[in-house]
Structure 1
Amino acid sequence: MKNRKHQLANEKILKLILKLSLPATIGMLVSSLYNLVDTIFVSKAEGPLGIAALTIVFPIQMLIMAFTQSIGIGSASIISRALGEHKNEKASEMFETTVISLIILSALVIFLGVLYLKPTLLLFGATSLILEKAKDYYFIILIGSPFYIFALGLSNIARAEGNLKVSMNGMLFSAILNIVLDPIFIFKLNYGIKGAALATVISQFISFLYLFRYFFFSNNSYIKFKGFIFRINYFIEMIGIGLSSFTRQAVSSIVAIVLNNTLKIYGGEIAIAIMGIINRTLMVIFLPMFGIIQGIQPIIGFNYGAKSFGRVKETLKMAAIITTIFCTIVFLIMQLFPKGIIRVFSNDINLINMSILPIRVFSLAFITIGFQIIVAGYYQSIGKVIPALILSIARQSIFLIPLILILPKYLNEFGIWISFPISDFMGFLISLIFILKEYRKNLSQK
C-alpha cells in the first residue's frame, strides 16, 4: 500500500498514466459491454423495435448512474486528496458516509422507479409500439439496480486509492458472465428482451460481490469500514464535488427526453433505433476516455493535495494528448466505415441505409471531445465544483438542447443530427477558455 503512494508521488507521469489508466480503460470498456451486448442480441431477437426499447431505457439507466456517480466521484475526490495528505482516518470516515448514501439511493431508485414505471417510459419518448418491450426490460433492471449502484460506487473508491486492478477485475468478471448468459436467456430459454435484463442483473451482482469482498473482507485497502456513521459535512462536500458529474449525466437524460420525443415526430421508431445504435457506439468510444480520467484522477488529486503542481500539469497535458489521438482515430472510423458499425447491431437493410448519414454527421466534431472530458475531469479531481459543473452542462444544456428544439423546424431530421457537432465545437471553445485561465492562475507553479 505504501508503494502505491510512492508511485503517485514520484513515478514518471506517462508511465503512471498508462499503468493506472489501462486497467480503468479496460474496465470501463468492459462495463460498456452490458448494454452493447444486450443491444446486439436483442436486435437479433426483437429487431429494430427491440433496439428502440433499449434506447428509451438507456437514458433512465444513465440517470441512475448520475446519482451514483455524484456519490462515487465526489467521495473518490475527497478520499484521494485525504490520502495525499496522509489522512487515512478521514478517508475511512468518508467511506462510511459513502456506503450509507449508496444504501439510501438504492432504496429510492427501486421505490420511485416501480411506482412511476410507465409514466417514466412515456416521458422518455416510448411510443405505443415500443412501450411493452421497454417495460419488460426496465422492470428487471430496476429490481437489480442496487447491485449496479454499489458496484459503481465502490469502483470509484478503489480507483481513488490507486487500486485500478480491483475495479477492472470486478467489471471484467461480470461482463464475461453477461456475454455468456445473454444468448442463453434470450434465445435458449426464449425470454427475449427480459432475458437480456436478467443476464445484466446477474452479471452486476457478481461485480458487486467482488468489490464488497475487497473492502469489507480483505486487508488490501487503506480504507477501513468501522460502522454505519453518517457525517453530514462529508456528505455535503461529496455531493458538491460530484454535482458536476451528476449534472452532466442528468442533463444527458434531459437531452434524451427532448431528443427521443423530437425523433418520434421527425423520424419515428426507426430514427429512435438509429439513435440507440449511436448511443451504444458512443459507450464504446466515451467509456475508455472516462477510464483514462479515472486513471489520472488519483494522480491529480494526490499531487494537488501534496502541492506538486508540476506533476498535476504534466498529467493533464499527457491525458489531453492521449484522448485527442484516440478521438481522431474514432472520427476516421465513423466517417469511413459507418455501414460496418451498423452491421454489428443489425442486418436490417432499411436501418443500415438510413443510419449512414446520421453517423457521419454526428461525429464531425469528435476530435474535440477528448480535450473537453479531460478538462472537466481535472476540475473534478481538484474539488473545484463550479468550473466542473459549468463544463459538464455547457455542451448539452446551453447548446445542444436549444439546437435540437430549433434546427429540425428548418432542416427536419437532419437538423437533429447536425446539432451534435455544433454543440461539441462550442463546448470545446468553453473548455479551452477555462483551462487557459487555470494555467495562468495555478498551473504556472512548479
Structure 2
Amino acid sequence: MHRTKDNFKYLTTAPVPKVIMTLAVPTIVSMLVTSFYNIADTYFVGKINTQSTAAVGIVFSVMSIIQAVGFFFGHGSGNYISRKLGAKEDEAASRMAATGFFLALSLGVILMLLGLLLLRPLSYALGSTPTILPYTERYLGIILLGSPFMIASLVLNNQMRFQGNAAYAMVGIVAGAATNVILDPILIFVCDLGISGAAIATVISQVFSFCLLFYMGRREGNIRIHYRNFTFSWSFVKEIIGGGTPSLARQGLASISTIFLNVSAGNYGDAAIAGMSIVSRIGMFINSFLIGFGQGFQPLCGFNYGAGLYARVRQGFWFSVKVGFIFLLCCSVAGMGYAEEIVALFRKGDPLVIETGSAALRWQLITYPLGAWIILSNMMLQTIRKSVRATILASARQGLFFIPLIFILPYYLGLQGVEMCQAVSDMFTFVLAIPLSGGVLLEMKRKEAVAKR
C-alpha cells in the first residue's frame, strides 16, 4: 500500500490546480475516447440507413441503464474508498472494493438474462416504430451479452480513479474504445454484418476493456479485488446506496428521458428520432470533457474532505467550475455557426435528419455553459456524501424537469418543443443547483473557520 500513502500525501498537500490537472488529463482522455467510440457507432451505422441510426439511438437508453448500474456501484464504492483512504483506514477500503465489484457483476448477469427474455416488448417500450424494430432487436440482443462486462468495467474504472490512480483506469478504457473504433468498419462493411457488426464490435471491446482493467487493478498502488474480501453487510450496502444513488438517479433518469424523447420524436417520423439521437451523442461528447475534468476533482475532494481539509475542497471546486465554464462557452460559440455541418457528418443523405438535428443542437448549445456548475456541484455533493442533495440535483436535469417538459412543450410547440426541451430543463436545473451546492460550500467555510480557532 506504499503507493496509496504517496497518493494521500500528494492529494492533501500539492497545489490544488496541479493535482486536479494531473488527475483530470487521463480521465478526460478516457471520457473523450469513450464518447468518441459511441459517436463512431452512430457515424458508421449512419452509413447504412436512417432506421439503423434511429435504432442505435433507441438502444442507447438501455446502455444508459447498464451504465447507471455500473456508476451506482463504482461511485458508491469509490466514494467510500477515497474517504477511507483519506482517513487511513485501508482495510475497510479493500473490503468495499471487493464488495462493490462482485455485487455489480452479479446484477449485470441478471439484467442480461432479463433483457434477452423480454427482447421484443423491450424494443417496443423503448420507442421502436415498426420500421425500426428489426434493427433494434438485432442491435440490442447482441449489446445485452456485453452488459456484465460493461458494468464490471465501470466499477473497476471508478474505483481506480477514487484511489488517485486515474492513469491505470485510462489505459483500460482507451484500449477498449480503440478496439471498438477499429472493429466497427471492419465488421459493418468488410464482413457485411450491418448493424449487427456494430453491436459485436461494442461487445468485444467491452470484454477486452474489462480484462485489461482487471489486470491493471492488480498493479502496485491499486487495491486488489479478492473474493475473500467480499463483505455482504448492511453497512456496506448502505454506503453503496448513499454514494451511488445520485449516479443511478442521473443515469437511470437519462435513460427514461431518452425513451420519452424517442417516443415524442417518433410522432414526427424516423428522421426526427435519428436527428435527436445524433444530437444526444454530440452533447455527450462535449460534456465528456467536463465530466472527465470533474472526475479529476473527485479524488482530491474525497481525500481532503475525509482529512478535514475543507479549504482545499472549496478551492478545487471553484477552479474546476471556472475551467469547465470557459470550455463549454467556447464549444457553444463554435457549434452555433456549424450546426448543420456537424449533424451532416453522421447522416448526410437525409435533409430531414439534418434539419431536426441542427435545430436541436443550437437549442442545447445555448445552455451548455451552465452545465459546469450543474455537473461539478453534483460531483462534489456525491463525493462528500451529501446524498439527498446530490440525488435531487442528479434527478433534476433528466427527470424532475425534463420528463414533464417532454410532454408539455411538444403539445404546444410541436417538433420545436422536442428540440428545445433539454435546454429549458438545463435552465431550471441551474437555478436549483445554486442553493443546493452553495449551502454546502458555506458549511465547509464555517467548519474551516472553527478549525482555525
TM-score by length of 2: 0.95
Cross-structure match for 2:16? 13
Cross-structure match for 1:375? 377
Deviations 1:106-162 (A, max 9, x none): 211111111111111111100001011011111111011111111111000000110
Q: Output the amino acid matched with 2:303.
A: F
The question of whether the paired residues in 1 share the 8 Å contact of 2:172 and 2:216 is answered with no
Cross-structure match for 1:285? 286
Deviations 1:205-260 (A, max 9, x none): 11111111123x43332455251442332022112211011011111112122211
Counterpart CA distance in 1 for 2:386 and 2:232 is: 24
Cross-structure match for 2:405? 403
Q: Which moved more, 1:102-111 or 1:185-194?
A: 102-111
Cross-structure match for 2:33? 30
Counterpart CA distance in 2 for 1:382 and 1:79 is: 12
Q: Output the amino acid matched with 1:136.
A: R
Kindly state the Cα deviation for residue 288 of structure 1 after the two structures are TM-superposed: 1.9
Q: Output the amino acid matched with 2:72.
A: S
Q: Output the amino acid matched with 2:302.
A: G
Structure 2 gaps of 5+ residues are: 449-453
Counterpart CA distance in 2 for 1:224 and 1:342 is: 43
Deviations 1:245-284 (A, max 9, x none): 101111111212221111111x111100011101110121
Q: Output the amino acid matched with 2:309.
A: S
Kindly state the Cα deviation for residue 326 of structure 1 after the two structures are TM-superposed: 1.4
- The number of equivalent residue pairs is 443
Counterpart CA distance in 2 for 1:242 and 1:444 is: 27
Cross-structure match for 1:89? 91
The question of whether the paired residues in 2 share the 8 Å contact of 1:278 and 1:359 is answered with yes
Structure 1 gaps of 5+ residues are: none
Q: Which moved more, 1:288-297 or 1:383-392?
A: 288-297
The question of whether the paired residues in 2 share the 8 Å contact of 1:251 and 1:396 is answered with yes
**2:283 is aligned with 1:301:** no
TM-score by length of 1: 0.96
Q: Output the amino acid matched with 1:293.
A: G
Q: Output the amino acid matched with 2:161.
A: R
**2:411 is aligned with 1:441:** no
The question of whether the paired residues in 1 share the 8 Å contact of 2:66 and 2:150 is answered with no
- Sequence identity of aligned pairs in percent? 35
Kindly state the Cα deviation for residue 335 of structure 1 after the two structures are TM-superposed: 1.0
The question of whether the paired residues in 2 share the 8 Å contact of 1:70 and 1:238 is answered with yes
The question of whether the paired residues in 1 share the 8 Å contact of 2:371 and 2:430 is answered with yes
Cross-structure match for 2:160? 158
SS at match of 1:144: helix
The question of whether the paired residues in 1 share the 8 Å contact of 2:276 and 2:356 is answered with no
Kindly state the Cα deviation for residue 3 of structure 1 after the two structures are TM-superposed: 2.2
Q: Which moved more, 1:402-411 or 1:367-376?
A: 402-411
The question of whether the paired residues in 1 share the 8 Å contact of 2:364 and 2:423 is answered with yes
Counterpart CA distance in 2 for 1:98 and 1:240 is: 13
Q: Output the amino acid matched with 1:339.
A: E
Deviations 1:261-315 (A, max 9, x none): 11111x1111000111011101211222211222111100000000000100000
Counterpart CA distance in 2 for 1:342 and 1:389 is: 33
Q: Which moved more, 1:292-301 or 1:310-319?
A: 292-301
Counterpart CA distance in 2 for 1:444 and 1:325 is: 29
Change (3 A) 1:218 1:17: closer
Counterpart CA distance in 2 for 1:222 and 1:11 is: 23
Cross-structure match for 1:230? 232
Cross-structure match for 2:109? 107
Kindly state the Cα deviation for residue 402 of structure 1 after the two structures are TM-superposed: 1.3
Cross-structure match for 2:131? 129
Kindly state the Cα deviation for residue 343 of structure 1 after the two structures are TM-superposed: 2.4
Counterpart CA distance in 2 for 1:409 and 1:343 is: 28
Counterpart CA distance in 1 for 2:186 and 2:44 is: 10
Cross-structure match for 1:149? 151
Q: Which moved more, 1:22-31 or 1:235-244?
A: 235-244
The question of whether the paired residues in 2 share the 8 Å contact of 1:96 and 1:230 is answered with no
**2:346 is aligned with 1:345:** yes
Kindly state the Cα deviation for residue 439 of structure 1 after the two structures are TM-superposed: 2.4
Cross-structure match for 1:336? 337
SS at match of 1:345: coil
Counterpart CA distance in 2 for 1:364 and 1:414 is: 15
> Aligned match of 1:51 in 50, 53, 60?
53
Q: Matches of residues 382-397 of structure 1 in structure 2 within 5 Å? A: 382-397=384-399
Cross-structure match for 1:116? 118
> Aligned match of 2:82 in 74, 77, 80?
80
Counterpart CA distance in 2 for 1:179 and 1:421 is: 30
> Aligned match of 1:185 in 187, 206, 225?
187
Counterpart CA distance in 2 for 1:278 and 1:386 is: 31
Q: Output the amino acid matched with 1:325.
A: I
Q: Output the amino acid matched with 2:339.
A: P
SS at match of 1:364: helix
Cross-structure match for 1:417? 419
